[in-house]
Homo-oligomer: A and B are copies of this chain.
Amino acid sequence: MATVAEVNLLGAVNLALKRAMTEDERVIVFGEDVGVDGGVFRATDGLLQSFGPKRVLDTPLAETLIAGLAVGLAAQGFRPVAEIQFMGFIYATLDQMINHASRLRTRTRGRLTCPMVLRAPYGGGIHAPEHHSESTESLFAHVPGLRVVIPSTPADAYGLLLSAIRDPDPVVFLEPKRLYRQVSEPVEDDGTGVPLDRCRVRRAGSDITLVSWGAMMHETLAAADALGADGISSEVIDVCTLKPLDTATILDSVSRTGRLVIVHEAARTAGFGAEVAASVAEAGLFDLKAPVLRVTGWDTVMPLPRHESAYLPDAARIVEAARRVMAYD
């Protein structure tokens, strides 16, 4: 019973949650305000009504609790999907995620496992209050045993979230909130998942490889358009699954283009872009015709809305970097 609906990224998340809860009664959803309110962004809208209070639970205001509950439920065979309201409040989960969720399987040699999903909206660009615009995906990407997934389109949000929920191991699923309502596309609600450790080539090209994820994908695509108008052909790769990182797709692209620009909105130092660059410096060095540039948020605190646009990379900055890279031959 696959229906096709025109949905935005938020709608796709909602659709995937509904699908997952329908197909597997072990899936339960909880977090702050996910019930009656349907989540502050409405990602869980209607779930309580459809699945009832045993499958959709509002928790007390406590993020460590939320992560710990997920670990306990997952070990007991549930498929918990826990929501953290904003990524700026996710740090209290790190102890549980690093010391427990990511390693329950390893610690018990497979006796207990932790098939949980920790969802959170992340990133800036919506003029949100302090602490509501953070992009700290690289903290999670460093943790062995976790998967880190970031969709940038409604269709991927749907397919990746389904795969994340079905995955037998813990997945951190970060949703670029700036894109929640920005673009819509037809999404077929047929329960098809998207593979969890595969980068996506969003656009094929031959002169330069642009790698990005999350909300920055769209700035990157805009930059590719601008470059295209100048006759520069960009291959655009969406690292929708940061961890484990599919370096093969990136290396293959760089082997053809010889040029690489990486774009993310997180702070530069030790951001995940460094991992992408390092992977290429290791396994694709001789393909490179130009330095690997990173277009990122500055190494500053994410500013309040007035200066948000000075912080966030945009198409112009990407184009500028791409041109610098193209100047080499």
Contact = CB atoms under 8 A, between A and B. Distances in A.
A292 interface: yes
Contacts of A102: 301
The contact size tier of chain A is 35 or more
Contacts of A243: 269-270
Contacts of A269: 141-142, 144, 243-245, 275
A113 interface: no
A300 B102 CA distance: 10
Interface string A85-101: 00011011011001100
A291 interface: yes
A130 interface: yes
A285 B291 contact: yes
A281 interface: yes
A291 B292 CA distance: 13
Interface stretch (A131-139, A175-183, A206-214): A131-139
Contact of A145 (B266, B286, B294, B301): B301
Nearest to A100: B131
A40 interface: no
Residue picked from A99, A102, A274, most chain B C-beta under 10 Å? A274
Contacts of A94: 91-92, 94, 139
A91 B93 CA distance: 9
Residue among A102, A276, A301 with most chain B CB within 10 A = A301
A271 B99 contact: no
A138 B214 CA distance: 22
Given A98-B136, A270-B142, A274-B277, A291 B301 contact: no
A106 B270 contact: no
Contacts of A106: 300-301
A282 B277 contact: yes
A299 interface: yes
A280 interface: yes
A112 to B, nearest CB: 14
A128 interface: no
A278 B283 contact: no
A92 B141 CA distance: 18
A292 B301 contact: no
A94 to B, nearest CB: 4
Contacts of A121: none
A284 to B, nearest CB: 8
A273 B283 contact: no
A60 to B, nearest CB: 17
A293 interface: yes
18 contacts: A88-B99, A91-B95, A91-B99, A98-B136, A99-B131, A102-B301, A103-B301, A139-B142, A142-B269, A144-B267, A270-B270, A270-B275, A278-B281, A280-B281, A281-B285, A281-B288, A282-B291, A285-B288
Closest 5 CB pairs of A and B: A277-B278, A274-B278, A91-B95, A274-B274, A142-B270
Given A142-B270, A274-B275, 11 more contacts: A92-B94, A136-B142, A138-B138, A138-B142, A138-B270, A244-B299, A245-B269, A270-B274, A274-B278, A277-B282, A281-B288
